[in-house]
Structure 1
Amino acid sequence: MLAILAFAVIIWISEAMDYTVSSILIAALIIFLVGSAPSVANPDVPYGTQGGLKLALAGFSNSGLALVAAALFIAAAMTVTGLDQRIALFTMSHIGAGGRRVLIVSIIVTILLSFVVPSATARTACVVPIMLGGIASLKLDRKGPLAASIMITIAQATSIWNIGIMTSAAQNLLSRGFVEKQFGADQALAWVDWLIAGAPWAVIMSVILYFVVRKVLPPEIEEIPGGKQAMAESYRALGSMTAPEKRLLAISLVLLGLWATENKLHSLDTASTTIAGVALMLLPGIGVMTWKQAQKLIPWGTVIVFAVGISLGTALLDTKAAQWLSSSVVQAFQLDTLSPFAIFALLSAFLILIHLGFASATALTAALMPILINVLASVPDLNAPGIAMLLAFTVSFGFILPVNAPQNMVCLGTETFTTRQFTMVGLWLTVAGYALLLLFALTWWPLLGLI
């Protein structure tokens, strides 16, 4: 199993083949290699291909996968109805488009969409064309500092709010699934608990992002004549809200309410309520899109990669490979002698550095979070579930290189900024973000009982 893990890490870091193809290959390796290995329960009896198949397909029956797939349907519904575009233009038309305001607008739009569009790539793909249109209509230099700062802000704000909101990124749900597997569903953070833990960090980082971008890429113009009017005209051109937009907005608000009150006012879990919402979106007559529209917009490869990622983690846990590796790490680095804060500081720094080699936070989560969760579980007198959820925050630290996150690549494709400009901003954000993690680990998160 450790050989399969090593293969997965190498193939995902090198990107020698498509993520979906490599995931299918990893599933096949689990079936046959684990299937031919002695079982943990009885070393005299092999798992067999049926046992290997059960492990390889474990991710496809996981509630985390159901939530991710449902989230992709919601993102598709936003695209079909144009509600995401309306939200973005509404915000821009009311705040304006000056040199300072346009960056604030980019951050606020990203925050708002993070609540209703549970896909980082989809959010970015929505905002980028709107901002490019704004750059063109305002006659800004597409290669100038202001255009570059807008696009970099969109990418970085998306990564920041991947941490602030649990349903905003697939890797969050994958980490939560691993915590549920190891410690039980009652030990994993609910949607609102994640928001309480992560949103304050994200708010402060959004402010830091604004000042870092202003410092590194000072705009060539502070006031854009007619900027607010141009955005208002674009918003008016959309016309009145359509019936599908209204229904989707209502469903989204109900889902947000159900997510926020999980385990507080009701016992309905996030995955179940989201699936119910998607069912309403697809119902004839009262829905907002057809199946044919949805299936063209859903990135099915993402579903496969996510499912196999869960299967990989499950196989590492069930074969005891994760436990063996974690105990070796604990002994080698004497983690059992360190304080909870020191353990969090060390492991979060490791995740931030190793992310430089990964182009997918989901792949990084699938490969390493099961190991780190077992490392935490091996340390006595440690709040392992709480620290594991906090380590999930650092998985989204894709600030430094454009290749570290899909949303970065979407923005890079606009050719409004260089990799050097992105990295200059990203380095400052990474240092500030890590320092803020440590500050929260000493102050806010202990109050929440997470450390």
Structure 2
Amino acid sequence: MNDKLKLFIAVATLSVVGIIAYIPLGDFTLQQKAMIGISILAIVYWVTECVPIPVTGIVIILLEVVFGVFPLAKGLSYIASDVNMLILAGLVISIALSKYQLDRLLSLKILSFMGENTDKIVLGMMLATALLSMWIPNTAAAAIMAPVAAGMLELIRAEKGKSNAGKIMMIGVAYAATIGGIGTPVGTPPVPITIRNVKDATGYEITFAKWMAWGVPIALVLTIIAWKLLTLFYPPEVKSIPGGRSIVERELAKIGKLNKQQKTTLAIFGVAVILWLMDSFYPVLPNWTYIASLIIIILYLMPGVGTLSWDEVSREADWGVLFLVAGGLALGGGLRETGIVKMLADSIATGLTGASPYLVNIVIALVAGFSVTVFCSITATSSAFVPIAIAIASSLGMDARFTGIVAGIASCFAFLLPANTPPNAIAYSYGYFKNYEMAKVGLVLTLLSSIVLIAFMPVITLLTG
């Protein structure tokens, strides 16, 4: 898409917002009509990327303020929200671990136990990627593990585009990077977005440990299912990778023994995990998870204590994700405050009256999961679907907390195409698989993942009380 077309789409969509806001439309207020227009704009901008996705977040907030949905102070508060503080802490941890190669060290240690059997190496690669992705951004996890996978494939002279070993190893890294983020609230933005929406809509606060209690098992189960599917669809042409262990040992030798800064970085990471988990076991302060996130950021940057400089953080952090998340939260908040999300949910709920909660939730999971293909952003997908899913559940008298969690996790099911999420694109760039080869496995994996998610319903319901 050229710049002129992008500009046309951006301006035309903006004009549509104004037209919808000011034309007579039943009993709708100006703010309600504006939110309908802003929602259309958000979807068009996210899908077409006529403006950078983070800029869409800023546009959403600006329009809500202009049309009186929020006062300026509340609109700006979404940028400095508790959710963004949690995400920023995760970014800082990722930068610190990457600077001292500790993320790479962890993944290589896991791989060192997998021997030279091809299937086991792929499983080890995926487990290592998923574990990394629970604590650092999905994109970073894929960027770390994809070169390791490529090194393994060079040993067996895997032919790009033809080798099944190449397909399963690269697609496996992409899937595991996406799945692993589900495990913790810092793993991927849709998780804190879900937690915030559940709290705003129901008053229920999901603690760090409580999310991990179901997030980690779901992530591990889905990683194993993805691994098994890949080996069934594309049985590797070689049963073992001679020299695979030597690659791992050589890479570990490059890192060497832990120095003082690496130990300090790990120690602060350990403190971070303890701080995040504290309020699940001891009553601390309200919003403790987010207060802890600020403490963690300060610890890493504190002269004489931390191991990062502000210049490093400002240079390496993905600041755009904070604006994207802020816009998504503001969109959900505006739809909720103007009552639009309830009207939409009531309308949808009419067609679902009498349906089993399991059926409703699996439909929501499938719609959210396949919608990632349209939005090409798991953060945008969760921002759009979680508030609506919660409202539908409330209209049907179901447990809105669980349905919100289902929509949030399913929004991460970016398994179909390389363009769906950066980890997929990174793996695809190595040339070992084609679009349709990922889509074949991704279609089945999305269906199975939705079923697994609903199978966890009793566990999540029990944990949420």
Instruction: Report matched runs for 1:421-432 at 5 Å.
Output: 421-432=437-448
Amino acid at match of 1:439: A
Aligned to 2:261: 244
Does structure 2 retain, via aligned residues, the 8 Å contact 1:146–1:219?
Answer: yes
Instruction: Report matched runs for 1:333-348 at 5 Å.
Output: 333-335=351-353, 337-348=354-365
Residues 261-304 of structure 1, C-alpha deviations (whole Å, 9 max, x = no match): 43213435222222211211111122111111111111111111
1:386 to 402, 409, 413: 402
Aligned to 1:133: 151
Aligned to 2:51: 17
Separation of aligned partners in 1, 2:359 and 2:168: 35
Distance verdict in 2 for CA 1:262–1:136, change over 3 Å: farther
Separation of aligned partners in 1, 2:201 and 2:147: 42
Aligned to 2:284: 267
Aligned to 2:42: 8
Residues 186-217 of structure 1, C-alpha deviations (whole Å, 9 max, x = no match): x1322222222233332222222222111112
Does structure 2 retain, via aligned residues, the 8 Å contact 1:56–1:312?
Answer: no
Separation of aligned partners in 2, 1:3 and 1:107: 42
Q: Displacement of 1:419 after TM fit?
A: 0.9
Q: Displacement of 1:394 after TM fit?
A: 0.9
2:77 to 58, 63, 66: 58
1:314 to 333, 358, 362: 333
Q: Displacement of 1:354 after TM fit?
A: 2.2
Q: Displacement of 1:52 after TM fit?
A: 4.3
Aligned to 2:271: 254
Amino acid at match of 2:56: S
Separation of aligned partners in 1, 2:247 and 2:361: 48
Does structure 2 retain, via aligned residues, the 8 Å contact 1:78–1:84?
Answer: yes
Separation of aligned partners in 2, 1:95 and 1:298: 33
CA RMSD of aligned residues (A): 2.1
Aligned to 2:421: 405
Structure 2: 5+ residue stretches without partners: 1-34
> Mean alpha-carbon deviation: is it higher for 6-15 or for 161-170?
161-170
Aligned to 2:16: none
Q: Displacement of 1:404 after TM fit?
A: 1.8
Separation of aligned partners in 2, 1:445 and 1:210: 25
Does structure 2 retain, via aligned residues, the 8 Å contact 1:67–1:274?
Answer: yes
3-state DSSP class of the match of 2:118? Answer: coil
Does structure 1 retain, via aligned residues, the 8 Å contact 2:210–2:280?
Answer: no
Separation of aligned partners in 1, 2:260 and 2:226: 37
Q: Displacement of 1:226 after TM fit?
A: 2.0
Please say if 1:212 is aligned against 2:260: no
Residues 380-404 of structure 1, C-alpha deviations (whole Å, 9 max, x = no match): 3x22123212321111111112222
Q: Displacement of 1:344 after TM fit?
A: 1.3
Aligned to 2:433: 417
Separation of aligned partners in 1, 2:363 and 2:167: 34
Residues 396-426 of structure 1, C-alpha deviations (whole Å, 9 max, x = no match): 1111122222211121122221111111221
Instruction: Report matched runs for 1:152-191 at 5 Å.
Output: 152-184=171-203, 187-191=204-208
Distance verdict in 2 for CA 1:29–1:97, change over 3 Å: farther
Distance verdict in 2 for CA 1:67–1:27, change over 3 Å: same
Identity of aligned residues (%): 25
Aligned to 2:7: none
How high is the TM-score relative to the length of structure 2?
0.86
Separation of aligned partners in 1, 2:98 and 2:60: 32
Does structure 1 retain, via aligned residues, the 8 Å contact 2:366–2:447?
Answer: no
Amino acid at match of 1:352: G
Does structure 2 retain, via aligned residues, the 8 Å contact 1:134–1:231?
Answer: no
Amino acid at match of 1:29: L
3-state DSSP class of the match of 1:166? Answer: coil
Separation of aligned partners in 1, 2:323 and 2:101: 27
Aligned to 2:168: 149
Please say if 1:95 is aligned against 2:114: yes
Does structure 2 retain, via aligned residues, the 8 Å contact 1:166–1:173?
Answer: yes
Amino acid at match of 1:157: A
2:61 to 16, 19, 27: 27
Aligned to 1:367: 384
Instruction: Report matched runs for 1:347-362 at 5 Å.
Output: 347-362=364-379
Aligned to 1:324: 343
Does structure 1 retain, via aligned residues, the 8 Å contact 2:134–2:183?
Answer: no
Aligned to 2:141: 123
Q: Displacement of 1:63 after TM fit?
A: 0.6
Separation of aligned partners in 2, 1:52 and 1:406: 35
Separation of aligned partners in 2, 1:59 and 1:310: 7
Separation of aligned partners in 1, 2:278 and 2:356: 33
How high is the TM-score relative to the length of structure 1?
0.89
Does structure 2 retain, via aligned residues, the 8 Å contact 1:55–1:315?
Answer: no
3-state DSSP class of the match of 1:94? Answer: coil
Does structure 2 retain, via aligned residues, the 8 Å contact 1:80–1:293?
Answer: no
Structure 1: 5+ residue stretches without partners: 36-46
Does structure 1 retain, via aligned residues, the 8 Å contact 2:84–2:326?
Answer: yes
Separation of aligned partners in 2, 1:299 and 1:201: 27
Aligned to 1:44: none
Q: How many residues align?
A: 428
Distance verdict in 2 for CA 1:115–1:21, change over 3 Å: closer
